[in-house]
Amino acid sequence: MLYSSIVFLIGYSIVVVTISTAAEEQITKNASQWAKVISHKSIKALIDNAPKRLNDDLQTLTSITELNYIYIYRLNPEEKQKVKLFSSYKRGSNFYQPPDTLAQLTSLLSPQFYDNYFEFSVPINNSDQLIGYLYIQFDLDDLNMQIFKLAIYTLVIAIMMLLIAFAIVARLQRTVTAPIQQLITNIQLIAQQKDFSMRCDDMPYQELDILAKNINIMLSRAERYIARQEESEQQFIQLNKSLEDKVSHRTDALKESNQELLSTLETLHQYQGQLVESEKMASLGDMVAGVAHEVNTPIGLGVTSSSLLYDRLVDIKQAFENKTLKSSQLKKFFAESDENLNIIMRNLQRAADLITSFKQVAVDQSSSEDRRFNFKGLLREVVLTLAPQLKNTNYKVEFDCPEDLIITSKPGPINQVLVNLIINSIIHGFDGREYGTISIAVVLLKNQISIQYHDDGMGIKEEIKSKIFDPFITTKRGSGGSGLGMHLVYNLITQALNGTISFESYPNAGVTFDINFPILNE
């Protein structure tokens, strides 16, 4: 009702505005025609300077009741910017102050509407020469009264039509909505009582009757389904009894797997605590983050699998208690349990392998003691240590080092650095190549040792150059690489030896490592 009333008011307003606008346009058109006629007749009087004759002509306009005032102005021949009242006409005895300046007349070249009149001015031209102005004012009282009466008539007719429409709509609403309401009541009653044996009554209209019959069909199917469901519940009783033992067995297996996961996590936390307490590694925070990421991946997979297995176990128990467990659900649960337990065992083994590899990264400076040793002898020991890896290959290790180079430093970290670099060249640099050469040049620079390590392998890939010394960076992750080798080298050189390491590498041109570290004075 409110919406219809608003639409009615808007429509009525549009009609009234349209009528008013059309009336204004018509009267403006008529006034413009009268102004054109009067200005044309005024030209000769203005030229002859005959205001009395023009006044007599204007008095013949008394039959035009809408015409209030006419003022005809003549331009001052000496001053073109000034006008002088030449002739006038007014209906009645009311006084009206006419415009008396050229600016006022030019501002009225477009009609100006007011409450009960409108006015405008027209230039008077003689052969394209401006000789004066015509000011004319028309009364709007009659027009306003006609518009008002027409608006009242329109309002009365519109209200009558609106009332008739409301009556028709109300009648139709009672006729159409009553059957729909009855159908809704029946459906609500069935839903509340959960009595699917009830049926909807026939409807008087074809569409509603089709709907009611389809609802009755659905109720019949639901009733039959519930009957079959009750019969099936008896079949699950024996199956549920045997299920209890199997569920108990799976629960014990799950608890055992969770205990193994907790033990592995405890081992990891203990080792991370040891790393935090170590003050000798400047990049310890990043290393712990890398370890947590690498180890937590298999641990997380194991926890996820165990959680999934536990959730499935809860679902099976719930189905068992609710007597809705099906044999297909039980078979699917057994298959998923085997798969999840296999995932847990594989990831536990992977986590254990990662932890074992990571223990080799920790650099304990306190255990590396300084002693005097022959550097070239150390190089020979390194090559001898790697003899099994170099056997049956065409890879050569060459070194350029003075025979009498004896220094005082930490041979343990140096040995580990060289071993890791050589193994890294064999695994990554010479991957897929039958031949390869590793050259190690050692130079004593005052109280500092400079080692240049070079291999002619495939070099380091561009995408990992900037993070080659970060933990867990490897191109052999799927082949057993842990990504800790170069990180161990970096820590040994910078922490244990207090030195520096840098490298250059180009595709298929190998890699060169420059290592520098101080030695003790002799």
Do 352 and 471 have their domain in common? no
Do 371 and 333 have their domain in common? no
Domain end, chosen from 206, 230, 254, is at 230
Domain end, chosen from 335, 358, 381, is at 358
> Given a cut of 60, is residue 481 above it in pLDDT?
no
Do 22 and 114 have their domain in common? yes
pLDDT at 93: 59
Judge whether 138 and 66 are in contact, CB under 8 Å: yes
Do 198 and 260 have their domain in common? no
Residue 237 lies in a domain: no
Question: For 76-85, 274-283, 471-480, which range has the lowest pLDDT when averaged over its residues?
Answer: 274-283
Do 107 and 166 have their domain in common? no
Q: Where are the alpha helices (DSSP H) in 194-235?
A: 206-233
Do 416 and 470 have their domain in common? yes
Domain end, chosen from 110, 139, 168, is at 139
Q: Tell me, what CATH number does 12's domain have?
A: 3.30.450
435-445 and 394-400 strand pairing: parallel
Do 511 and 401 have their domain in common? yes
> Given a cut of 80, is residue 392 above it in pLDDT?
yes
Whose CA is closest to 457, among 519, 511, 407? Answer: 511
Judge whether 343 and 307 are in contact, CB under 8 Å: no
Please state the domain count of the chain. 4
Residue-averaged pLDDT of the chain: 79
Residue 236 lies in a domain: no
Cα 216 to Cα 184: distance, rounded to the nearest angstrom? 13
| 395 vs 303: which has the higher pLDDT | 395
Residue 30 lies in a domain: yes
511-518 and 500-505 strand pairing: antiparallel
Cα 422 to Cα 430: distance, rounded to the nearest angstrom? 11
394-400 and 112-113 strand pairing: unpaired
> Given a cut of 80, is residue 30 above it in pLDDT?
no
Do 177 and 94 have their domain in common? no
Residue 235 lies in a domain: no
Q: Tell me, what CATH number does 488's domain have?
A: 3.30.565.10
- Give the tokens for residue 150: 């027409």
pLDDT at 269: 56
Return the percentage of the chain with pLDDT > 70, whole number. 84
Do 133 and 47 have their domain in common? yes
Do 457 and 322 have their domain in common? no
pLDDT at 515: 96
Residue 238 lies in a domain: no
Residue 497 lies in a domain: yes
Do 496 and 370 have their domain in common? yes
- Mean per-residue pLDDT, 74-92: 76
- Give the tokens for residue 361: 């990264």
Name residues whose C-beta falls within 8 Å of residue 120's C-beta, 6 or more positions apart in sequence.
Answer: 31, 35, 108, 109, 110, 111, 112, 135, 136
Name residues whose C-beta falls within 8 Å of residue 484's C-beta, 6 or more positions apart in sequence.
Answer: 357, 358, 360, 361, 471, 472
Q: What residue numbers bound the domain in which 217 lies? A: 148-230
pLDDT in tens, 316-358: 888 888 888 788 888 888 888 888 788 888 778 767 755 654 4
Angle at 337 between CA 335 and CA 342, to 5 degrees: 100
Residue 90 lies in a domain: yes
Residue 427 lies in a domain: yes
Q: Report in angstroms the alpha-carbon separations of 200 from 25, 111, 167, 219, 423.
A: 65, 72, 31, 10, 84
- Mean per-residue pLDDT, 190-207: 78
Do 456 and 320 have their domain in common? no
